[in-house]
């Protein structure tokens, strides 16, 4: 893993007046470029030639410049550093770059360590437990005694997940060798999008910095969502969990207090385990009928659900006079860090 010192020494060579924001043209990049444009920060889209036309068709969302690549797994590090670029790791970025991300010699917004913790299921559980989050019970194939969800490693987007209720059903349905088996929690899914700034004040105070609730979504997953339609039509559906989009969520205001506390605990734990969590993150959870939240994942980066709110959300309007997306918030944080000479606090 490339050291923080190495990244910060690269950063030292940057012309701070010419910093650009770069990301792969996918996932949340329109929002990131749009937000950076609103903050007057120049942007670079790392793009396959065949996708450029699509990005060019959104004049306020496209990047100012492109670096055309043959494959998203080959990030042009040298070129990006020459351009004073700070990379924003979104979901597709993490997915496409894979293991190479550990040694990518380009300054990255946030704490690179947090992506390592989110990407390793054992570490992720340790983080969630240390944060005091309630998590669904885990089972082995032999101990399954209730409806459980079987998750496959790296199956981002819930593809290939199945529901089983007994050891026999597990044996019949699951062919893979690597999996985790988790109690199936019934309730409503809630994915709050947070932003933690170690260099700001004014939000929810945590570790001397400020935690903000940017927005909330839940994912649209085929075919579990709306499966009641098929069921009523007399079609028997085997539930699947493939993410196809997102829809917005607003919570009962009394639940927001708990949401803030959970986010704060995740940040505090990140300081105990790996030196902090600057930038956007999301805790994926389910709220049960007795109003208990069960968390099943933390995303230590911008999540796709924030794309619902390029012009701000029903939460950001209480913190900002202008439309504030998570993408714009990132650009503002970078600008502020430059101004305060604290870029090192938000970059690794
Ligand atoms: P994940 O890959 O962990 O984000 O899970 C993908 C999807 O599976 C989630 O968005 C939920 O719809 C569903 N899911 C995950 N864990 C559970 C659980 N323990 N109980 C019920 N549904 C779950």
Tens-digit pLDDT profile for residues 272-299? 999 999 999 999 999 999 999 999 999 9
Ligand 1 mutation pick, 149, 181, 182, 243, max ligand atoms within 8 A of CB: 149
pLDDT at 172 over 80: yes
Ligand 1, closest atom to CA 294? Answer: 19
Region 172-181 average pLDDT:
94
pLDDT at 165 over 90: yes
> What 3-state class would DSSP assign to 134?
coil
Is the bond preceding 243 in cis, omega lying within 30 degrees of 0?
A: no
Q: Tell me, what DSSP letter sits at residue 159?
A: T
For residue 219, give the ligand 1 atom closest to its CA. Answer: 10
How far does residue 112's CA lie from ligand 1's centre (Å)? 25
β-sheet with 162-164: strand ranges across = 138-139, 180-183, 148-151, 162-164
At residue 68, the 3 state secondary structure works out as strand
| 102-143 confidence digits (pLDDT tens) | 999 999 999 999 999 999 989 999 999 999 999 999 999 999
Which residue owns the Cα nearest ligand 1 atom 5?
A: 158
Residue to mutate, 137, 158, 180, 189, ligand 1, most ligand atoms under 8 Å from C-beta: 158
Model pLDDT for residues 16-50, shown as the tens digit of each residue = 999 999 999 999 999 999 999 999 999 999 999 99
Distance 147 CA to ligand 1 centre (A): 13
Q: How many CB atoms lie within 10 A of CB 57?
A: 9
108: DSSP letter? B
Backbone angles phi, psi at 164, to 5 degrees: -135, 155
Indicate which residue's Cα is closest to atom 12 of ligand 1: 241
What average pLDDT does the structure give for the chain? 96
296, 298, 300, 305: residue to mutate for ligand 1 pocket, most atoms within 8 A of CB: 296
Q: What is the pLDDT of residue 149?
A: 96
Contact criterion met (CB below 8 Å) for 62 and 56:
yes
Kindly provide the b/e burial profile for residues 168-185, where b requires at least 16 CB atoms within 10 angstroms of the residue's own CB: ebbeeebeeeebbbbbbb
**Ligand 1 center to 231 CA (angstroms):** 21
Is-above-0.85 flag for pTM? yes
**What mean pLDDT comes out for the span 205-218?**
98
Q: What is the DSSP letter of 98?
A: G
User: Average pLDDT, stretch 83-93?
Assistant: 97
3-state helix vs strand vs coil in the chain, percent to 5: 35, 25, 35
**Structure-block tokens of residue 26:** 């996918």
Residue 153 — pLDDT band, cuts 50, 70, 90? Answer: confident
Q: Which long-range contacts does 220-223 make (Cβ < 8 Å, 24+ apart)?
A: 220/244, 220/245, 220/246, 220/247, 221/158
Residue 261 CB contacts under 8 Å (≥ 6 apart), including other chains: none
Spacing, Cα 189 to ligand 1 middle (Å): 9
Residues near ligand 1 (Cβ within 6 A): 136, 149, 151, 158, 161, 182-185, 189, 219, 221, 241, 284, 286, 296-297
In ligand 1, the atom with minimum distance to the C-alpha of 183 is 19
Give the dihedral sign, CA 74/77/82/88.
positive
**What's the 296 CA to ligand 1 centre distance in angstroms?**
7
The pLDDT, as a whole number, for residue 156 is: 66
Q: Answer whether 304's CB lies under 8 Å from 313's CB.
A: no
Q: Which atom of ligand 1 is nearest to the CA of 184?
A: 20
Exposure string of 229-239, with b = 16+ CB inside 10 Å and e = fewer, is eeeeeeeeeee
Residue 155: its pLDDT value, please? 59
Residue 184 DSSP label: P
58: confidence class by pLDDT, cuts 50, 70, 90 = very high
Express each pLDDT in 298-342 by its tens digit. 999 999 999 999 999 999 999 999 999 999 999 999 999 999 999
CB count, 10 Å around CB of 45?
Answer: 26
> Ligand 1 mean position to 211 CA, how many Å?
25
The pLDDT value given to residue 157: 74
Q: What is the pLDDT of residue 133?
A: 98
Percent of the chain with pLDDT over 70: 99
Determine the average pLDDT of the residues in 222-230.
95
Alpha helices in the chain (DSSP H): 4-12, 29-38, 49-56, 77-82, 91-97, 112-119, 121-130, 167-173, 227-232, 253-274, 326-339
In this prediction, residue 347 carries a pLDDT of 98
pLDDT of residue 158: 82
At a CB cut-off of 8 Å and minimum separation 6, what does 216 contact? 190, 191, 192, 193, 248, 249, 250, 251, 259, 305, 313, 315
Identify the pLDDT of residue 159. 83
């Amino acid at each position: 893993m490339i050291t923080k010192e190495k990244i910060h020494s690269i950063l030292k060579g940057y012309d701070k007046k010419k910093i650009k924001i770069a990301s792969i043209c996918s996932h949340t990049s329109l929002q990131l470029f749009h937000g950076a444009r609103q903050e007057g920060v120049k942007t670079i889209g790392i793009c396959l030639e065949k996708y450029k036309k699509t990005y060019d068709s959104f004049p306020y969302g496209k990047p100012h410049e492109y670096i055309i690549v043959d494959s998203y797994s080959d990030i042009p590090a040298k070129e990006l550093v020459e351009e004073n670029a700070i990379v924003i790791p979104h979901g597709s970025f993490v997915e496409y770059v894979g293991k190479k991300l550990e040694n990518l010699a380009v300054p990255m917004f946030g704490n690179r360590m947090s992506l390592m913790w989110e990407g390793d299921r054992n570490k992720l559980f340790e983080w969630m437990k240390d944060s005091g989050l309630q998590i669904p019970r885990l089972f082995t194939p032999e101990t399954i005694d209730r409806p459980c969800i079987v998750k496959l490693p790296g199956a981002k987007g819930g593809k290939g997940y199945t529901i089983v209720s007994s050891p026999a059903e597990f044996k019949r349905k699951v062919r893979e060798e690597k999996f985790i088996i988790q109690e199936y929690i019934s309730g409503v899914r809630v994915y709050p999008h947070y932003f933690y700034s170690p260099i700001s004040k004014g939000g929810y105070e945590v570790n001397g910095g400020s935690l903000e609730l940017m927005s909330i979504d839940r994912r649209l997953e085929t075919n579990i969502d709306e499966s009641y339609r098929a069921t009523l039509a007399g079609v028997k559906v085997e539930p699947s969990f493939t993410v196809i989009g997102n829809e917005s969520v607003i919570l009962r205001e009394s639940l927001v207090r708990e949401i803030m506390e959970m986010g704060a605990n995740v940040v505090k734990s990140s300081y105990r385990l790996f030196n902090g969590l600057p930038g956007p993150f999301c805790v994926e959870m389910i709220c049960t009928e007795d109003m208990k939240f069960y968390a099943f994942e933390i995303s230590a980066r911008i999540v796709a659900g924030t794309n619902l709110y390029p012009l701000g959300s029903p939460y950001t309007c209480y913190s900002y006079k202008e439309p504030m997306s998570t993408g714009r918030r990132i650009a503002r944080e970078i600008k502020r860090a430059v101004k305060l000479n604290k870029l090192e606090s938000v970059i690794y």
